[in-house]
A and B are shown apart, each in its own frame.
Chain A
Amino acid sequence: MTLLTAVTAAVICTIIWYRSEQRTEMKLGILCLMFWSASLMWLVDAFFEYAELGADYFAPAASDMLNDLYLGLSVVALGLIIWLIILLIKDPKGVVRAALFKKDR
């Protein structure tokens, strides 16, 4: 479920990256790469778990699925927060700098 959530986030981010004209300014590439990479890592985890559990891997308990979904959504939220911090620090549009150093009239 965590893998599925991460892959879904990666696909959505990639579509937004492809359609957006401000992809460079908004640093959307970082978000895409982060989610795709996490998906690849969880895919490896899934392979090892499948090798251990066999077909049972595809029949998880409902409570495990719910916990994994909760984890997956938390991971997506964390990814978005990391991206937002990078965006605000790099501040490609100068919005933060303009807000901080704006002179009072």
Chain B
Amino acid sequence: MACFLVPTAEAVVTTIATKVIEKKEKNNTEVSVSADEISLESTGKIPFSKKLKWLNNMLWGGSALLAFEHVWHGEVVPYFPFLTAAEDPASAAEMLHEMATAGVMMAVLVTAVWGCMVATAGFLEKRTSDDKAAKEERS
């Protein structure tokens, strides 16, 4: 009905958070380069803002495709109130229930998968820096 609105709301929050963190990271680096340019090779670490961008892409992309599905099924319309379920109180209650269950589950699952991606990236970062250190020790 409108389950895609929950991940969309999360996407808005994470996008703002990304902008703020990116600004802070920029201020912290002495050389004025964008967070995107701070590569794994130059610092040994992926900036957190870049990791947050993965989550943004997941949330915005998934929500956009899911929103299209709702348009397809006639649940989202291009005129007020935009959601057909919002036209009467009984449907609105059902819609809110779906948002609270399926919508929240979607947001949680996507965030959990992103968490796994970040953990894996952290593990790979550590392994790369360990390999680098071992190489330096040998030479």
Range, interface on chain B: 20 to 34
The contact string, 1 if C-beta is below 8 Å from chain A, for chain B 105-138, is 1100110010000000000000000000000000
B1-40: CB near A (< 8 Å → 1, else 0) gives 0011001000000000000000000000000000000000
A46 shortest CB reach to chain B, Å? 10
Is the pair B61, A37 in contact by a Cβ cutoff of 8 Å? Answer: yes
Instruction: Determine if A82 and B61 form an interchain contact, defined as CB atoms under 8 angstroms apart.
Output: yes
Q: A75-B65, A82-B64 are in contact. List 6 more A-B contacts (CB 8 A).
A: A2-B69, A36-B113, A41-B3, A71-B69, A74-B68, A74-B72
Residues of A with C-beta under 8 A to B102: 44-45, 48
Q: Tell me, yes or no, whether B57 is within 8 Å of chain A by CB.
A: yes
Q: Is the CB of B105 within 8 A of A34?
A: no
User: Given the interface contacts A79-B61, A82-B61, does A41 sit within 8 Å of B101 by beta carbon?
Assistant: no
The digit string for A53-97, where 1 denotes a CB below 8 A from any CB of B, is: 000000000000000000100110011001000000000000000
What are the residues of chain B within 8 A of A40 when measuring CB–CB? 62, 106, 109-110, 113
Q: Would you call B58 and A78 a contact (CB within 8 A)?
A: no
User: Which residues from A are CB-within-8-Å of B62?
Assistant: 34, 37-38, 40-41
Q: Which of A6, A34, A42, A43 contacts B57 (CB 8 A)?
A: A34
| Min C-beta distance of A76 to chain B, whole Å | 9
The answer on a CB contact under 8 Å between A41 and B106 is yes
Interface residue? B54 (CB, 8 A): yes
Which residues of chain B are within 8 angstroms of A36 by Cβ–Cβ distance? 58, 113
Answer whether residue B66 sits at the interface, using C-beta atoms and an 8 A cutoff. yes
Q: Is B59 an interface residue (CB 8 A)?
A: yes
What is the chain A residue whose CB lies nearest that of B113?
A: A40
Of B3, B69, B72, B110, which contacts A37 at CB under 8 A?
B110
Known: A44-B105, A45-B3, A45-B102. A34 touches B65 (CB 8 A): yes
Q: Which residue of A lies closest to B73 (CB)?
A: A71
Contact A44 B61 (CB under 8 A): no
A40 to B58, CA, bound (A): 10
